[in-house]
Copies of this chain bind each other. A is one copy, B any other.
Amino acid sequence: MSESVDKKWIVGVDLGGTNIVVGVLPMEGGDPLALRSLPTEAGRGAKYVVDRIVGMVREAIGTVVAEQGGTRADVAGIGIGSPGPLDRSTGTVLETPNLGWRNFPLRDLIANAVGLPAALDNDANCATYGEWWLGAGRGTSTLVGLTLGTGIGGGIVLNGEIYHGVNDGAGEIGHMSIDSNGRRCKCGNYGCLEAYASGPAIALRAVEGLEAGTDSVLPDLVGGKLEDITAATVYEAVLLGDAYASEVMRDTARFLGTGVANIINVLNPEMIVIAGGVTLAGDHLFLPLRAEVRRRAFKSAEAACTIVSAQLQGTAGVIGAAAVFKREKFGYV
Question: Could you tell me which A residues sit within 8 Å of B by CB distance?
Answer: 85, 94, 141-142, 154, 156, 158, 163-173, 175-181, 187-191, 254-255, 258, 261-270, 295-298, 300-301, 304-305
Q: How many angstroms between the C-alpha atoms of A296 and B187 in the bound complex? A: 8
> What residue in chain B is nearest A94 (Cβ atoms)?
B300
Q: 9 closest A-B pairs (Cβ-Cβ)? A: A165-B268, A169-B301, A169-B268, A170-B268, A172-B265, A180-B258, A189-B296, A176-B262, A167-B304
Contact B300 A265 (CB under 8 A): no
Picked from B191, B267, B298, the residue with its CB within 8 Å of the CB of A85 is B298
Q: How many angstroms between the C-alpha atoms of A177 and B170 in the bound complex? A: 19
A-B contact pairs, 20 of them (CB 8 A): A154-B266, A158-B158, A158-B163, A163-B267, A165-B268, A165-B304, A167-B300, A169-B268, A169-B300, A170-B268, A171-B266, A172-B266, A172-B298, A176-B262, A177-B178, A178-B178, A179-B181, A180-B258, A187-B298, A189-B296
Contact partners of A169 in chain B: CB under 8 A:
264-265, 268, 298, 300-301, 304
Q: How many angstroms between the C-alpha atoms of A142 and B166 in the bound complex? A: 7
Q: How many copies does the complex hold?
A: 2
Contact B166 A269 (CB under 8 A): yes
Contact B141 A265 (CB under 8 A): no
Picked from B164, B165, B268, the residue with its CB within 8 Å of the CB of A164 is B268
Contact B165 A142 (CB under 8 A): yes
Q: Report the minimal beta-carbon distance from A314 to chain B, rounded to whole angstroms.
A: 26
Knowing A141-B166, A166-B270, A168-B268, say if A175 contacts B300 (CB, 8 Å). no
Q: How many angstroms between the C-alpha atoms of A301 and B165 in the bound complex? A: 9
Knowing A187-B298, A304-B166, say if A266 contacts B266 (CB, 8 Å). yes
Q: How many angstroms between the C-alpha atoms of A85 and B177 in the bound complex? A: 26
Other than the known A172-B266, A173-B266, what 15 A-B pairs have Cβ atoms closer than 8 Å?
A85-B298, A141-B166, A156-B266, A158-B163, A166-B269, A169-B264, A170-B301, A173-B265, A176-B176, A178-B179, A179-B191, A188-B295, A189-B265, A189-B297, A263-B266
